[in-house]
Amino acid sequence: MTSIGPKRIVLKFGSGILTKLDTPEPDPVQLRKLVEAVALLKKDGHSVVVVSSGAVASGLKPLEMKSRPSDMTTLQALAAVGQTHLMHAYENLLRDHSLHVAQLLVTHEDLAQIDRANRVKATLERLLQFPQIVPVINENDSVAIEELRFGDNDKLSSKIACLWKADLLILLTSAPGLLRDVQKPEEGPIPVVEDVDVVIHHAQEEKTALGTGGMISKLRAVQDAVRGGVECIIASGRQAEQLPTVVNGGGICTRFLKQS
């Protein structure tokens, strides 16, 4: 499949695809696959911004915890410790592709206020003038709690995509897309959606042990993004190697057409 030209792409990595399937800790093999996919997109000439969860999971081992706690203060402490480990992992893996990470920690308040949102956008634009840089964004969980409590960065990724005027927002999750029937996964995902309202009943609010956002959370984020003029895709983060194909119009996924 031939490339269709450079795009501005926001990739959202949820906790469920950054951690091991059997234990609540970061999966280095999976993270390497995701970074390799980012490197391929960069090689194809695309501008790529990553919105990454995973700070809480990355903090469990250093703080000698075996499962995600329920109290918000401890979650914020885990995020504060884990964020440094997460960025260190990204930097090490990106360096193998002659790339480097740029960390941006933001809150929904930052994006709601025009002056602050414009500063975030200007910083992103300046960073992306350097082809070797991959901005990695997370909620500033040590001071903000919205994504910790509700969305696993789904809403944040949608806001970033609209702010940056991205061409494409790709939400990578444990599912191959929005399934026609969750009881019959072999039927595969719905390939194209023109109206999220029509398909939202297909979603079940399933969450991982470390994630806070299920499929309904993702569809709400998609709804905001497509209304803002951003095409969206939900695809499997466990098949990161297909990302270049997905960007070029193929692959196994669900595509949500932009509305303006």
pLDDT at 211: 45
Q: If you classify domain 8-256 with CATH, what class do you get?
A: alpha beta
pLDDT at 180: 85
Separation CA 83–CA 102 (nearest Å): 13
Query: Exposed/middle/buried for 173, CB within 10 Å: 0-12, 13-18, 19+?
Result: buried
The HSE-up count of residue 106 (CA atoms within 13 Å, CB side) is: 29
**CA angle, corner 168, sides to 234 and 122, nearest 5?**
130
DSSP 200: G
Q: Are 46 and 9 in contact (CB under 8 A)?
A: yes
CA distance 94 to 41: 13
Helix (H), strand (E) at residue 5: none
What would the DSSP string read from start to end of 101-127?
EEEEEE-HHHHHSHHHHHHHHHHHHHH
Query: What token pair was written down for 40?
Result: 């391929």
User: What Å distances lie between residue 220 and 31, 59, 91, 107, 159, CA to CA?
Assistant: 26, 28, 31, 18, 12
Spell out the per-residue pLDDT of the chain, length 260, in tens.
445 689 999 999 998 899 998 887 899 999 999 999 999 999 999 999 999 999 999 999 999 998 888 898 999 999 999 999 999 999 999 999 999 999 999 988 899 999 999 999 999 999 999 999 999 999 887 777 776 765 678 999 999 999 999 999 999 998 899 988 777 878 889 999 999 988 887 775 554 444 445 788 899 999 999 999 999 999 999 999 999 999 999 999 999 999 86
Helix (H, G, I), strand (E, B) or coil at 193: strand
Give the separation between CA 83 and CA 57, rounded to whole angstroms.
9
* CB atoms near residue 77 (< 10 Å): 17
> 133: part of which helix (H) or strand (E)?
strand 133-139
Task: Using a cut of 0.85, tell me whether the model's pTM lies above it.
Answer: yes
Beta carbons within 8 Å of 93's beta carbon, 6+ residues apart: 31, 32, 35
Domain assignments of the chain as residue spans, ordered by start? 8-256
Q: Which two tokens stand for residue 48?
A: 């790529």
**What pLDDT is recorded for position 149?**
66
Buried b / exposed e over 83-98, threshold 16 CB at 10 Å, is bebbbebbbebbeebe
Q: Phi/psi at 9 (nearest 5 deg)? A: -120, 130
**Side chain identity at residue 254, one-letter code:** T
